[in-house]
Amino acid sequence: MTLPVFPSLRITADSLIPKGAFAEAQAAFLKPDPELVTQLTTLLREKNAGVVAHFYMDPELQGVLSSCDWPHIHVSDSLAMADRAIAMAERGVSTIAVLGVDFMSENVRAMLDASGYEHIPVYRVAADPIGCSLAESAEAPAYGAYLTQASETPRSLHVVYINTSLVTKAKAHALVPTITCTSSNVVQTVLQAASQIPDVHIWFGPDTYMGDNLAHMLASIAEMSDQQIRQLHPAHDQASIRALLPRFHYFEQGTCIVHHMFGKEVVDLVRQHYADVFVTAHLEVPGEMFELGLRAQREGNGVVGSTSNILAFVLGKVDQAIARGKQTNLRFILGTEAGMITPIVRQVQDKLRDYASEGGPEISAEIIFPVASEAVAQDVESGLGVLPGVAGGEGCSTAGGCATCPYMKMNSLRALIALLQRVDVEPSSNLVPFEPRKYVQQIRGRTAADLGGEPILHMRAFQRTGQLPEALIEDVLTRKSGQTSFQRG
């Protein structure tokens, strides 16, 4: 029997069919232990606690969360996490647990404070820092030098990926007018800024792959007809996009260890063995995977975008197959962190079960994990530290990329249960290590937490109105250089 090049998980209306050890590991927890579900649900009710989590949580945790009968649980991309935390506060929850890396809990804390919910505790599930390789790259001296260059360039706007710490946002905003973005709204943010601010210089960071992909995307847009461009943004045409190209800058030293793995070797294998499958690619992947996904997107066979865009694409193709009513197995390359498999499985199976109840031909969806061939995984019991090959489990490449994020995996089910058991039992001072980091230093006469929240509020205003706030535009037009410096700490 020929083994598959990449592991995969086939989803049917009533079963999961894994191929390869990595897929088996992902599938193992998608049918959670009922006792664990009951234990967590009971704790959440007793503590009146809400949970906001990122799509990249491990399957065991997501499997249990998605099976809990408690309304105050939400799993999404980073854009929606803070919004849902605010909605939970409005509905009266007493505590909010954030399952993600530290910048996510910081963003939730800042947005709750800005909405008048300072009294609601926010907790992480680990006392130790839950880092992020990408966020840390924005704290390096190189990023400070990049923003210093931006501050010396008239009419500069810093578009910072939300995957950064609150203090990074504060220091950046003190140096250059700053608005946050996510992978789902960054293209529209850039286009809108260029339409509202004449001759604006846009400085994107810290994600190098996303920045490079955006530059290539803008160049591709510049080759479209004026009519096609106006469908993307009504204020633009070929001339305006071409004028923007030399004024779009991106940081060249920031990477995510997860998306780093989707490089040339993986793409070559996809092209060789999976020419007929749908391709999904996160905007953070390297250029080779981005180009593959973008080409597939142009042909209607793929998507490049955020985790939410990827989920919507998969579900859309399932809907189309159901409408056709013919037996088929849809196959998708999953070009992002493997934790996405949980919401994909849950929502695809819901659709397939409804369809199967009508008695139509079988439809299934197969999710392919493009784990690099040199993947390794931690294995403490072996005495070797790591095991080579996909069969090891986690799929971390020697080149630095991982199919699953080791930082996100610090958010375990056991850690969440242990935290909730301590809430309202121990003195609140005992839980201080679990709170988001407090930034009390003053920057331009404001606390770092206050100033760092402003770029997020600018983004939220843009999301509501479709326009950049007038205060941000005025800041870009009038800001003078040399008002402060960007220092780590």
Find the CATH number of the domain harbouring 57.
3.40.50.10800
Same domain, 197 and 271: no
What's the pLDDT at 291? 80
Integer CA distances (angstroms), 458 to 118, 125, 171, 436, in order: 20, 29, 16, 22
Residue 441 CA to residue 431 CA, distance in Å, equals 22
Same domain, 266 and 141: no
What's the pLDDT at 248? 97
Q: Considering 325, 358, 392, which residue would you say is the last residue of a domain?
A: 392
Print the domain residue range for 354.
8-27+257-392
Same domain, 263 and 376: yes
Same domain, 424 and 446: no
Residue 81 CA to residue 73 CA, distance in Å, equals 10
180 part of a folded domain: yes
Q: What is the mean pLDDT of each run of 10 residues along the chain (489 residues)?
A: 70 91 73 90 96 82 88 85 93 95 86 91 88 70 91 95 85 94 89 97 89 88 92 95 97 64 71 89 73 86 88 96 94 82 89 90 92 48 39 40 61 91 93 85 79 91 95 93 52
Same domain, 111 and 163: no
Q: pTM for the complete prediction?
A: 0.71
In 50-157, which residue ranges form alpha helices assigned H by DSSP? 59-67, 78-90, 102-114, 133-137, 141-151
What's the pLDDT at 416? 95
* DSSP code at position 119: T
Residue 192 CA to residue 177 CA, distance in Å, equals 15
Same domain, 265 and 292: yes
294 part of a folded domain: yes
Angle at alpha carbon of residue 122, lines to 461 and 406, rounded to 5°:
90
235 part of a folded domain: yes
Residue 103 CA to residue 365 CA, distance in Å, equals 34
Q: Considering 392, 426, 458, which residue would you say is the last residue of a domain?
A: 392
Same domain, 75 and 156: no
Same domain, 238 and 213: yes
Go through the chain and tell me how many residues it has: 489
399 part of a folded domain: no
Residue 367 CA to residue 383 CA, distance in Å, equals 33
Q: Produce one character per residue of 258-296: b if its CB has 16 or more CB atoms within 10 Å, e if not.
A: bbbbbbebbbeebeeebeebbbbbbbbbbbbbbbbbbeb
Same domain, 324 and 423: no
Q: Taking the alpha carbons of 161, 166, 167, 170 in that order, is the dihedral positive or negative?
A: positive
212 part of a folded domain: yes
Q: Considering 392, 422, 457, which residue would you say is the last residue of a domain?
A: 392
What's the pLDDT at 283? 75
What's the pLDDT at 287? 62
54 part of a folded domain: yes
Same domain, 45 and 104: yes
Number of domains in the chain: 3
401 part of a folded domain: no
Same domain, 49 and 81: yes
84 part of a folded domain: yes
Name the phi and psi angles at 467, rounded to 5: -125, 145
Same domain, 120 and 74: yes
